[in-house]
Amino acid sequence: MLSNNSNVQNASNSHPLGATSRDSLDVNLSEYFVKVKRRWKPALAVFLLTLGVTGGLSLLQQETYQAQGKLLFRQRSAGAIGDIGEQAGTLQTILNDQTPLSTQIQVLESEPVIQQVIDRQKLTDEEGEPISPEDFRQKLTTGVVGGTDVVEIAYKHPNPKAAAEIVNTLMDVYIQTQIRGNQSEPAAAREFLDRELPTVEAKVKNAELEISAFRTENGIVDLAEEKKGLVANLGELNQQISTTGAELQGMQAQGAALQSQLGLSLNQAVAANQLGSYPEVQSILEQLTQTESDLSKERQRFNEQHPSVISLNEKKNDLTQQLRGLIAANVGEGVNVSQGLLQNDNGNKENQLEKFISLKIEELSLQRQVASLYESQQKYLQRAKNLPQLEKQERELVRTAEAAGKTYETLLNSLQEAQLAENNQSGNADVVEYASVPEKGRSGRTPLLGMGLLLGALLANLSIILLEMQDRSIQSLAEIKKKFPYKTVGITPLEPPSYQGRIVTRDEPDSFSSEVYRMIQANLKFLTSDKPPRVILVTSSVPEEGKSTVVANLAAAISQLGRNVLLVDGDLRRSCQHILWGVDNTQGLKDILTNNQSPIAVIKQPMPKLSLLTSGRVESNPLALLDSPEMSDFMGRSRREYDLILIDAPPLPVTADVLTLSKLVDGILFVTRPGVVEQESADLAQEVLATTGQKVLGMVVNGVKSDDFDRYSYHGRYGKKYFSQGNAQQKGSNNLQKNQNLSNISEGNNSKGNVSRAKL
Q: Mean pLDDT, to the nearest integer, of 9-17?
A: 41
Banded model confidence at residue 17, pLDDT cuts 50, 70, 90: very low
Q: Mean pLDDT, to the nearest integer, of 566-593?
A: 93
The string of DSSP letters for 202-252 reads HHHHHHHHHHHHHHHHTT-S-HHHHHHHHHHHHHHHHHHHHHHHHHHHHHH
Length of the chain: 760
Cα three-residue angle 282-285-291, rounded to 5 degrees: 140
For residue 183, the model assigns a pLDDT of 58
For residue 340, the model assigns a pLDDT of 63
CA distance 555 to 62: 76
For residue 662, the model assigns a pLDDT of 92
Q: Could you give the percent of the chain with pLDDT greater than 90?
A: 18
Q: Mean pLDDT, to the nearest integer, of 60-79?
A: 72
3-state secondary structure at position 545: coil
Helices within 302-444 (DSSP H only): 307-330, 339-342, 352-420
In this structure, of 228-242, 328-342, 710-724, the range with the lowest mean pLDDT score is 710-724
CA distance 240 to 234: 10
- CATH fold of 477-734, please? Rossmann fold (3.40.50)
In this structure, of 172-176, 529-533, 584-588, the range with the lowest mean pLDDT score is 529-533
Res. 754: pLDDT tops 70: no
Helix-then-strand count for the chain, H and E: 30, 13
More confidently predicted of 183 and 691: 691
Taking alpha carbons only, the member of 592, 683, 604 closest to residue 635 is: 592
Banded model confidence at residue 469, pLDDT cuts 50, 70, 90: low
DSSP 349: S
For residue 644, the cross-strand partners are 565
CA distance 713 to 493: 10
Tens digit of each residue's pLDDT (9 = 90 or more) over 409-418: 888 888 777 7
Tens digit of each residue's pLDDT (9 = 90 or more) over 443-453: 666 776 788 78
Q: Mean pLDDT, to the nearest integer, of 148-159?
A: 88
3-state secondary structure at position 645: strand
For residue 143, the cross-strand partners are 152
CA distance 732 to 729: 5
Banded model confidence at residue 537, pLDDT cuts 50, 70, 90: very high
Domain residue ranges in the chain = 2-60+454-470, 477-734
CA distance 480 to 705: 13
CA distance 495 to 505: 13
Residues 58 and 449 sit within 8 Å (Cβ to Cβ): yes
40-59 vs 17-38: helix crossing angle, rounded to 10: 80
**Rg of the Cα atoms in the chain:** 48
Res. 208: pLDDT tops 80: yes
For residue 84, the model assigns a pLDDT of 53
DSSP 692: H
Taking alpha carbons only, the member of 218, 206, 221, 220 closest to residue 397 is: 206
Q: Mean pLDDT, to the nearest integer, of 486-496?
A: 87
246-255, 314-323, 334-343, 563-572: which has the highest mean pLDDT? Answer: 563-572
For residue 465, the model assigns a pLDDT of 79
Tens digit of each residue's pLDDT (9 = 90 or more) over 425-435: 456 778 888 88
Banded model confidence at residue 759, pLDDT cuts 50, 70, 90: very low
For residue 328, the model assigns a pLDDT of 74
Taking alpha carbons only, the member of 22, 47, 29 closest to residue 457 is: 47
CA distance 195 to 332: 84
For residue 661, the model assigns a pLDDT of 92
More confidently predicted of 267 and 176: 176
For residue 394, the model assigns a pLDDT of 78
Instruction: Report the chain's mean pLDDT, rounded to a whole number.
Output: 77
CA distance 604 to 588: 9
3-state secondary structure at position 264: coil
In this structure, of 125-129, 436-440, 651-655, 739-743, the range with the lowest mean pLDDT score is 739-743
Contacting residues for 65 by C-beta, under 8 A, at least 6 apart:
156, 157, 158, 159, 160, 163, 438, 440, 441
For residue 319, the model assigns a pLDDT of 78
Res. 80: pLDDT tops 60: no
Banded model confidence at residue 713, pLDDT cuts 50, 70, 90: low
| Backbone phi, psi, residue 239, to 5° | -65, -45
For residue 228, the model assigns a pLDDT of 77
Contacting residues for 354 by C-beta, under 8 A, at least 6 apart:
273
Q: Could you give the percent of the chain with pLDDT greater than 70?
A: 77
